[in-house]
Structure formats: C-alpha cells, structure tokens
Amino acid sequence: MKQNFPDSFPTNPLWKSITLNQLQVFKTTAQHGSFTHAAKQLHLSQPTVSSQIKHLSTALGMPLFEQVGKQVYLTPAGQEVFDACQTIFERLEQLETNLAEFRGMEQGHLRLAAATTAKYFIPKLLNPFCQRYPSLTISLEITDHQGVVERLNKNLDDLYILSHLPEQDKIEAESLLCNPLVLVAPKRHPLTRQSHLPLKSLEKKPFIMRERGSETRSSVEQLLYQHKVSVQVKLELNSNEAIKQAVVEGLGLAVLSMHSLSANDLTQLAILNVEGFPIHRQWHVIFLREKKLSFVARTFLDYLLEESQAYCQVYSSLTRNDSAFASKLKAS
C-alpha cells in the first residue's frame, strides 16, 4: 500500500487533528509490523485499523508506513511518530500510577506500632499529617518494647517506633528523636536538696519500675548492673502515667523518658541530677527490609524523618549537659 502526501498540509494543531486512540492503533501496528496482527491484538477489525492509520496519516500530512507484501515498515516520519508515542504512553502510564497513589493517600490506611513511651510524641507528629490527608485512616498500636518486636516479627504493621534496635539483619532503621531517660523523685524528696549525686546514693532506695519487656526498664537495669548498684523494686507498673502518680505519692523513685514529663508533672516531680543520668537513648523508626512499603507508609516515613529533625533540635538544646538540661526543664 503506497501512501501519498496529501495536496494540502494540515493547518490544525496536532492535538485537534489526532486522537490517542489513533496513536494507540498506530503504535501497536508498528510494534507488530502488520495491520492484521495489530487488529487481533486490539480486538478490532482489520479495516478499522487501516482506517485509523489512514486518518492519522492524513491528519499528520504524510505516510507513516510503507507496505511490502503483508508486512508494513515505518517511514522516517513514522519512526518519529512512533518515538513520540513511546514517550506519550509511558508518561500516561506513569500518570496512571501516580494518580492511583494519590487515591491511595486519600483512601489508604497506615498501620503503626510504637513502644509505650512513644505515645507522648507520636500524636504530636501525627496531627499535621492527618490534617494534610484527612481521608487517611491510621491505626497506632501502643505496647511495650517487647510487644513491638513481636509485632515486627509477625509483620503486622507498616512501621515500628522503638528506641533500642532489635538485633536483626532483616530490618531497616532510621534515627528519629533523642530519648533521654531521667530519674524522678517527689518534689520534696531529701535527695532533691543535693545538686550532684553519685550513682551509689541510689543503693537500696525504693524504686518503681516499668514491667519486664520495657526498654526503659532494661536501660535502668543495665546502668545499675554495670555500676553494681542494687535498688529495691517496690512496685512494677506498665504505665508511665501510673508511675508518675506513684512517685508523687512517695512510693519510690523512678526512671522516665523526658518525653513523658509535662510542665504540669514537674510541679510535683523533681529531676535528680545523678551520675549516669540522663541515660541517652534514641528513637528509631524501623521496618522490614524485604517488605514493599505502601505509598502511604513511604509518605509517612519521609514526613516523620523531616519533622522529627525540627522536633529534635528543641530537645538537643535541652540536653546539652546535665545541669543545663535540669534547669531548663525546671523552667519549662
């Protein structure tokens, strides 16, 4: 089939003269080198394919194929159109993927699991994210460190927030915020009169501890063990809020994350300046390396890393050294 140049060249802009459907038929024909095979592939009749190509050639003002027997070959102009088709359809496919992901942000669900103490800062970080994506639903499972590790092993959530990293090579971890652990006493406790205390001064003192499985507890036990100090564990509680109440009531001393202490708490509790405190821990966000994160989870991860930097700058100024840390905290 020999196609001739039309007498008059088209004057309309391309987007008015041609359709995506014609381009799709043209692209398929070029890929198969045959009208018949293209028709089969597109579930069209062979005359429909020929007619679409003819309309496209006319609209563009030049032949796009040269026919030799049953085989069709691209003309130089046809090759140019074919290259453009590749770009156009690739871009459309990309657009389709991106739009699906946007729909994902609108209708998606984010599953998070965080260690008990993270509940003091996660909602603050979640709030602007929820406002940005109002249709998104989020489930946040709060449990102690051990519980989060178990959820990770069962692949129950998208992202996990912990301070101490589990010893596993199947995880990716990103550092988030600092997590200083401080020793607290009731406001009028005798130890509050001393500006600096050796760790040994805690020997045999009554303590309120978090439950076993808590990383806060493990950190305290590790410090005491390293310095051969033994304290009297009077009470075990799985709630930071309950621990604060118990300390206020004089049941013992306790170690809490600075994140858990509000200005109001510090009207009743004092932070003791004891050797070895604050214990410096770091919050991390972790996920399974092999897991393909959903678009929602990836978006939240990027957001979390960016936002936590700003949040951490405030904290690092408060924790530069112990006394500055204590006085600034008292002033807050």
- Residue 63 or 213 having the CB closest to ligand PGA: 213
Give the residues across from 74 on adjacent strands.
Answer: 65
Residue 260 contacts ligand PGA per CB under 6 A: no
User: Could you say which of 32, 164, 189, 298 contacts ligand PGA (CB under 6 A)?
Assistant: 164
Residue 162 contacts ligand PGA per CB under 6 A: yes
Write phi, then psi, for 181 (nearest 5 degrees).
-100, 125
Nearest distance, CB of residue 148 and ligand PGA, angstroms: 7
Nearest distance, CB of residue 271 and ligand PGA, angstroms: 18
Cα torsion 75, 79, 82, 86 to 10°: value is 170
Q: How many CB atoms lie within 10 A of CB 284?
A: 20
Q: Would you say how long the chain is, in residues?
A: 332
Using a 10 angstrom Cβ sphere, with 0-12 exposed, 13-18 middle and 19 or more buried, the burial of residue 81 is buried
Q: Can you tell me the distance from the alpha carbon of 289 to that of 141, in angstroms, rounded to the nearest whole number?
A: 21
Residue 255 contacts ligand PGA per CB under 6 A: no
Give the residues across from 207 on adjacent strands.
Answer: 233, 253
Nearest distance, CB of residue 281 and ligand PGA, angstroms: 6
Please tell me whether residue 125 adopts helix, strand or coil conformation.
helix
Nearest distance, CB of residue 247 and ligand PGA, angstroms: 16
By rule CB under 6 A, what count of residues binds ligand PGA? 13
91 in Cβ contact with 119 (< 8 Å): no
- Residue 18 or 209 having the CB closest to ligand PGA: 209
- Residue 145 or 244 having the CB closest to ligand PGA: 145
**Mask: binding to ligand PGA, 57-96, rule CB under 6 A, as x and -?**
----------------------------------------
Nearest distance, CB of residue 228 and ligand PGA, angstroms: 23
**Mask: binding to ligand PGA, 199-228, rule CB under 6 A, as x and -?**
-----------x---xxx------------
Work out whether the CA dihedral 177, 183, 186, 188 comes out positive or negative.
Answer: negative
- Residue 215 or 322 having the CB closest to ligand PGA: 215
Residue 111 contacts ligand PGA per CB under 6 A: no
Using a 10 angstrom Cβ sphere, with 0-12 exposed, 13-18 middle and 19 or more buried, the burial of residue 225 is exposed
- Residue 36 or 153 having the CB closest to ligand PGA: 153
Residue 163 contacts ligand PGA per CB under 6 A: yes
Q: Considering only residues 276-295, where is the footprint of ligand PGA by CB under 6 A?
A: 281
| Residue whose tokens read 């090759």 | 79
Amino acid at 54: K
Q: Can you tell me the distance from the alpha carbon of 263 to that of 318, in angstroms, rounded to the nearest whole number?
A: 14
Q: Considering only residues 112-151, where is the footprint of ligand PGA by CB under 6 A?
A: 115-117, 144-145
Closest Cα to residue 179, out of 283, 277, 256? 283
Which residues lie near ligand PGA (CB under 6 A)? 115-117, 144-145, 162-164, 210, 214-216, 281
